Amino acid sequence: MYTDQPELPNRRAFFSRLAALAVAPFAFGAMQGCKNGGSGRNNSITGGMVGGGSNTGHLVRSADAIPKPTSTREVDVLIAGGGIAGLSAARWLAMNGVTNVAMIEMDSVVGGNSTYGKNKVSAYPWAAHYLPLPAVENKELLDFLGKAGVITGYKDLLPVYNEYHLCHDPEERLFINGHWQEGLIPDFGVPAADKQQIARFMEHVATLKNAKGNDGKYAFCIPVDNSSADPVYRQLDNMTMRQYLDANGYTSTYLRWYLEYCCKDDYGTVLDNTSAWAGLHYFASRKGQAHNADSTAVLAWPEGNGYLMNALKQQAATTVNANILAHRVTIEKDRVAVVCYDAVKKTSQIISAKKLLLCTPQNVNKYLLGEGYGRTDIYSAAEYAPWVVANVTVNFLPGKTKGMGLCWDNVIYGKQSVGYVNANHQNLNTPGAMVLTWYLPVVGDTPKAARKSIRNESWQEWVDYIIADLSYAHPGIDQHISNIDVRVWGHGMVQPTVGYIWGNARTLAMQPIDNKVFFAHTDLSGMSIFEEGFYQGIRAAKQIIAAS
Ligand SMILES: Cc1cc2nc3c(=O)[nH]c(=O)nc-3n(C[C@H](O)[C@H](O)[C@H](O)COP(=O)(O)OP(=O)(O)OC[C@H]3O[C@@H](n4cnc5c(N)ncnc54)[C@H](O)[C@@H]3O)c2cc1C
């Protein structure tokens, strides 16, 4: 969390406030001087906590938490985990003629962090909500987007994107100094000296965008693995983003707030625990091009990346066995035996596969595989940011109207949350009512401490917190909210902490065990974005095909 700024509460204060919610539900609203977060607020709001997957997932922690298996089923390839990486792998295997593939997913639906929901007003994302335009060199991703109807053709060798999927204007606004300004880079009321530093930083990262290392590769690339190995750039992974800013004279409070917002938004990290390489990658890696859009354009859908997830699922044409948890893995002479638990029937089965692809995060793999197999380093290196996401249905959005009107992405300067996205933004006939998807990366002294701080929060307490947060720019909003559903992601996304991306543990963790157990997940890239999940799935599928 960025703590230099006077009006921001410090980390400890934030967590004691979160903790205080457990005993004093209206404390936060009162502390913010916000009537609407207090006891006079609208009590007719419906909703609840969403996502029961974690209860099933926690069963992996104990060896005897599930009944003994009573049957065995054989397949050629078993994919465990139906997130973007798993679906991408399934698609690649199908495209390359590998049949007899089964996929198991512990949740009741596939998609992982790219799942979505729907109510009478709109579809809405439960986490991942957009994809920046990919670089034209990323042929595999462009091919997928073409088949998914996101790219409609090519002109002058550049992709033409479906106008319905390009995020419509106005895209982004920031509530700062009592005013909604266009764009997220602080500008309104920002002193000239700060503006100069912001401009200097932006010029620097614009240069880094085209920088190449001594191996001729881009310094910062997507997928991460295609980035240059030149130590001049890779050494940036050995310092924090804050150290990098200190060393380069970037002292502006406004610049640092903005950079911390970016780290929180994409990585769930703060300046103090983001690798400087990752912090710069955020700005320097995006090299998207389109015939009909700016390079900075993004692709968005009401259901967020649920659109891309459904397209992957369709192209994969693999049967997904939902509510099935991979519980333990045993590597045998010629096969791999996976004990699987059916969370609906409450029975267990062994699925025996020639090849197993674990598209599960490493914090789960450590239980599935147990210690050994040279993977201990990745288990201790991988840290995951907890997130809270809420979908807030409103019939009207009150608030200070000074400046820019409602955008797709709406951020409030100086808040712990990273704002909200209007899920209805891409709808051409926007109804009066809309769904706002609100995002809170929970940061603490450690991710574990952050997770602990929110473990026992009730729906009512989250509702009070969310209303207090939104009321800052939208006083009286609670009177217009009909429903709030809340989802907590305990291990939301891998954090690109210092040394993780270019450390040995990550590279080793991508290697298969005995050509029988393979791995794919965004945590093997060190940053959790769609493009990396897509890439990891294909990378692992290619390993499987090569080993068959
Ligand atoms: C709040 C939030 C916002 C985000 N926003 C964006 C965004 O806007 N754009 C973007 O590109 N990315 C975003 N992301 C990142 C997102 O995580 C990735 O884009 C992508 O969805 C990750 O895919 P994955 O396959 O690596 O992992 P996961 O989504 O973690 O998939 C792993 C799957 O494995 C399943 N699983 C776990 N254990 C087991 C088991 N034992 N047995 C069976 N199944 C199991 C899980 O249920 C899950 O479905 C966001 C993430 C979060 C948390």
Assess if residue 4 is contained within a domain. no
Examine the domain organization and report whether 364 and 430 are in the same domain.
no
The CA distance from 392 to 127, in Å, is 14
Assess if residue 372 is contained within a domain. yes
Q: Which is nearest to 199 in space by CA: 190, 189, 209?
A: 190
Per-residue pLDDT band at 431 (split at 50, 70, 90): low
Task: Kindly give the distance from the C-alpha atom of residue 360 to the centroid of ligand 1, in angstroms, as a whole number.
Answer: 9
Task: Kindly give the distance from the C-alpha atom of residue 428 to the centroid of ligand 1, in angstroms, as a whole number.
Answer: 29
Examine the domain organization and report whether 86 and 173 are in the same domain.
no
CATH code assigned at 526: 3.50.50.60
Q: Which is nearest to 127 in space by CA: 475, 421, 356?
A: 421
Burial class (CB in 10 A: 0-12, 13-18, 19+), 60: buried
Examine the domain organization and report whether 25 and 138 are in the same domain.
no
Q: Could you give the C-alpha distances from 132 to 45, 165, 294, in angstroms and in order? A: 34, 11, 11
Answer whether 303's CB lies under 8 Å from 115's CB: no
- Which residues sit opposite 475 in a β-bridge? none
Assess if residue 360 is contained within a domain. yes
pLDDT at residue 438 greater than cutoff 60:
yes
Task: Kindly give the distance from the C-alpha atom of residue 528 to the centroid of ligand 1, in angstroms, as a whole number.
Answer: 8
What's the rounded mean pLDDT across residues 286-313? 97
Assess if residue 515 is contained within a domain. yes
The structure tokens 């993780």 sit at 500
Angle of helix 530-547 versus helix 139-147 axis, rounded to 10: 100
The number of angstroms, rounded, from the C-alpha of 335 to the middle of its chain's C-alpha atoms is 34
Quick one: pLDDT at residue 36? 36
Examine the domain organization and report whether 196 and 236 are in the same domain.
yes
Assess if residue 203 is contained within a domain. yes
* Residue 124: partners with Cβ closer than 8 Å, 6 or more residues away: 116, 117, 118, 302, 303, 304, 391, 423, 435, 437
Domain boundary among 280, 300, 320: 300
Q: Which of 49-53, 292-296, 328-332 has the lowest mean pLDDT?
A: 49-53
Q: Which is nearest to 165 in space by CA: 182, 183, 145, 184?
A: 145
The CA distance from 184 to 409, in Å, is 9
Q: Which atom of ligand 1 is nearest to the CA of 533?
A: 26
Answer whether 130's CB lies under 8 Å from 299's CB: yes
pLDDT at residue 98 greater than cutoff 90:
yes
Task: Kindly give the distance from the C-alpha atom of residue 45 to the centroid of ligand 1, in angstroms, as a whole number.
Answer: 29
DSSP reduced 3-state for 313: helix
Assess if residue 508 is contained within a domain. yes
Per-residue pLDDT band at 43 (split at 50, 70, 90): confident
DSSP reduced 3-state for 339: strand
Our count of domains for the chain comes to 3
Per-residue pLDDT band at 136 (split at 50, 70, 90): very high
Examine the domain organization and report whether 353 and 389 are in the same domain.
no
Examine the domain organization and report whether 286 and 219 are in the same domain.
yes
Assess if residue 145 is contained within a domain. yes
Examine the domain organization and report whether 224 and 101 are in the same domain.
no
Pocket perturbation via mutation, ligand 1, pick of 365, 389, 528 by most ligand atoms within 8 A of CB: 528
Q: Which atom of ligand 1 is nearest to the CA of 439?
A: 1
The CA distance from 537 to 87, in Å, is 7
155, two tokens: 């002109």
Q: Which of 11-15, 217-221, 322-326, 544-548 has the lowest mean pLDDT?
A: 11-15
Examine the domain organization and report whether 389 and 374 are in the same domain.
no
The CA distance from 224 to 205, in Å, is 17
Examine the domain organization and report whether 240 and 324 are in the same domain.
no
Angle of helix 459-471 versus helix 11-21 axis, rounded to 10: 130
pLDDT in tens, 464-515: 999 999 999 999 999 999 999 999 999 999 999 999 999 999 999 999 999 9
Per-residue pLDDT band at 5 (split at 50, 70, 90): very low
DSSP reduced 3-state for 354: strand
CATH code assigned at 397: 3.90.660
Assess if residue 74 is contained within a domain. yes
Examine the domain organization and report whether 375 and 454 are in the same domain.
no
Domain boundary among 452, 467, 494: 494
The structure tokens 């938490």 sit at 65
Domain that includes residue 458, residue range: 11-53+384-494
Domain boundary among 245, 274, 300: 300
Examine the domain organization and report whether 489 and 448 are in the same domain.
yes
Q: What is the DSSP letter of 170?
A: P
Per-residue pLDDT band at 51 (split at 50, 70, 90): confident
Examine the domain organization and report whether 22 and 153 are in the same domain.
no
Q: What is the pTM of this model?
A: 0.94
